[in-house]
């Protein structure tokens, strides 16, 4: 299976977004980051370290992206600070998000590379956790993070249709992980016959569990992450993708005829529930900073992030690692998050109920 690297960013993209936002202060600063503002930002960052907190365990797709971004981001930030990636997993990315939003210095020296589920957890997560929506500033998203179900080729389930007729043992993380959440949605919304074996600390552990035969497959896992971390699965015909868990589907899997879960929805209500849940993948690899970050530094970081996404060295590395680059800007991420929170309350309530949370 090959993956084409797509680059949606154009030189005028940032200007278009700023125009749409009526030239708010951060945009104006970003568009004039050549004088005093740039000098002040450069003076602040010179000689400093900037930490990228990766909200997952080492060894998975999010970790690969975060470390790749860390290798190239510093040269695009005025003052060229040292970028240090650190893993801070736990709570499905919640620990890293909380650190950025609550306890890290709000000065632009701590960046979160988090899961999109963290951003929507207050909306569609367990209400008993009483999580409030964090007020965050967004640098952008590196790519969509489209999910799929992968199975061993010796598993009893070998097609999407089989998922509704035969039991499949799938590995999953804790209750806040994508592997658990996406599997639960398939099971409780579409009646897929999944036996969920939870408790793995990250996707890398589930990959190993599949290698060893402890589980027969995994759902709610990044297509790009699997391709990057387990290319041998496809070369050796050890595993295959049988179902896509996204709204649009991945172009390469679409070309192979791998169906989307939405095609198995029997009612409009089921489709709406899936669309609400799958919306998070449109801003699949978001990078955040504290909302109180000074506007000139925020604008510089937003510009640096998008410049990094079109950096020729990063693009060559991403192709080598088979990591998809399909970036969107910080304001675009903010708009998508806002759209998700404007979803039908009825669909959100039904989705929560299907996930076992109640209303």
Nearest to 51 by CA among 76, 74, 79, 75: 74
Residue 215 domain flag? yes
DSSP state letters, 143-212: S---EEEEEETTSS--STGGGGTS-EEEE--STTSHHHHHHHHHHHHS---EEEE---SSHHHHHHHHHH
Q: Are residues 330 and 271 in the same domain?
A: no
Out of 258, 279, 300, pick the residue that ends a domain: 279
Out of 234, 251, 279, pick the residue that ends a domain: 279
Helix (H, G, I), strand (E, B) or coil at 343: coil
Q: Are residues 132 and 183 in the same domain?
A: no
Check: CB of residue 197 under 8 Å from CB of residue 169. Answer: yes
Establish how many alpha carbons lie within 13 A of residue 19's alpha carbon, considering only the half-sphere containing its beta carbon. Answer: 5
Residue 357 domain flag? no
Q: Give percent of the chain above pLDDT 70.
A: 90
Residue 230 domain flag? yes
Q: Are residues 157 and 136 in the same domain?
A: no
Out of 225, 260, 279, pick the residue that ends a domain: 279
pLDDT band at 108, cuts 50/70/90?
A: very high
What's the pLDDT score for residue 202? 86
DSSP state letters, 78-112: TT-PEEEEEE---GGGHHHHHIIIIIS-TTS-EEE
Q: Are residues 47 and 118 in the same domain?
A: yes
Would you say residue 154 has pLDDT above 50? yes
Residue 355 domain flag? no
Domain encompassing residue 291: 13-143+284-346
Question: For position 29, which CATH number holds?
Answer: 3.40.190.150
Q: Are residues 297 and 273 in the same domain?
A: no
Q: What share of the chain is helix, strand, coil (3-state, %, to 5)?
A: 50, 15, 35
Question: For position 250, which CATH number holds?
Answer: 3.40.190.10
pLDDT band at 246, cuts 50/70/90?
A: very high
What's the pLDDT score for residue 13? 36
d(CA 190, CA 179): 16
Would you say residue 60 has pLDDT above 90? no
Q: Are residues 229 and 261 in the same domain?
A: yes
What's the pLDDT score for residue 8? 39
Would you say residue 198 has pLDDT above 50? yes
Q: Are residues 262 and 341 in the same domain?
A: no
What's the pLDDT score for residue 34? 53
Q: Are residues 153 and 270 in the same domain?
A: yes
Q: Are residues 294 and 247 in the same domain?
A: no
Residue 4 domain flag? no
Rounded to an integer, the average pLDDT of 256-276 is 95
Helix (H, G, I), strand (E, B) or coil at 332: helix
Q: To the nearest whole number, what is the mean pLDDT of the chain? A: 88
Residue 221 domain flag? yes
What's the pLDDT score for residue 310? 97
Q: Are residues 33 and 126 in the same domain?
A: yes
What's the pLDDT score for residue 260? 97
The neighbour count for residue 213, using CB atoms within 10 Å, is 11
Residue 243 domain flag? yes
Q: Which residue has the tokens 């969920």?
A: 196
Q: Are residues 233 and 151 in the same domain?
A: yes
Residue 178 domain flag? yes
Q: Are residues 90 and 121 in the same domain?
A: yes
| Total domains, the chain | 2
């Amino acid at each position: 299976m090959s993956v084409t690297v797509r680059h949606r960013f154009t030189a005028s993209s940032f200007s278009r977004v700023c125009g749409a936002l009526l030239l708010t202060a951060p945009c104006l600063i970003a568009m004039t980051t050549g004088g005093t503002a740039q000098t002040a930002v450069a003076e602040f960052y010179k000689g400093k370290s900037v930490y990228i907190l990766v909200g997952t365990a080492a060894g998975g797709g999010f970790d690969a992206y975060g470390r790749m971004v860390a290798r190239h981001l510093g040269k695009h930030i005025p003052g060229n600070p040292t970028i240090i990636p650190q893993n801070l997993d736990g709570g499905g990315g919640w620990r890293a998000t909380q650190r950025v939003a609550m306890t890290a210095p709000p000065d632009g020296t701590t960046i979160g590379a988090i899961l999109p589920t963290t951003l929507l957890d207050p909306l569609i997560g367990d209400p008993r956790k009483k999580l409030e929506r964090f007020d965050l500033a967004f640098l952008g998203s590196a790519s969509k993070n489209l999910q799929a179900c992968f199975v061993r080729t010796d598993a009893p389930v070998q097609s999407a249709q089989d998922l509704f007729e035969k039991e499949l043992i799938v590995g999953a993380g804790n209750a806040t992980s994508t592997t658990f959440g996406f599997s639960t949605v398939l099971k409780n919304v579409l009646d897929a016959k999944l036996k969920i074996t939870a408790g793995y600390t990250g996707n890398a552990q589930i990959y190993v569990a599949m290698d060893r035969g402890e589980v027969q497959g995994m759902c709610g896992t990044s297509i790009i992450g699997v391709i990057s971390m387990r290319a041998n699965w496809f070369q050796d015909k050890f595993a295959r993708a049988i179902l896509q868990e996204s709204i649009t589907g991945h172009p390469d899997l679409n070309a192979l005829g791998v169906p989307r879960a939405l095609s198995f929805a029997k009612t409009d209500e089921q489709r709406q529930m899936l669309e609400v849940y799958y919306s998070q993948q449109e801003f699949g690899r978001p990078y955040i900073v504290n909302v109180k970050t000074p506007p000139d530094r925020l604008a510089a970081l937003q510009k640096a992030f998008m410049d990094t996404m079109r950096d020729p060295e990063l693009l060559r590395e991403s192709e080598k690692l088979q990591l998809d680059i399909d970036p969107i800007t910080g304001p675009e991420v903010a708009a998508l998050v806002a759209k998700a929170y404007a979803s039908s309350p009825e669909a959100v309530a039904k989705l929560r109920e299907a996930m076992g949370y109640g209303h």
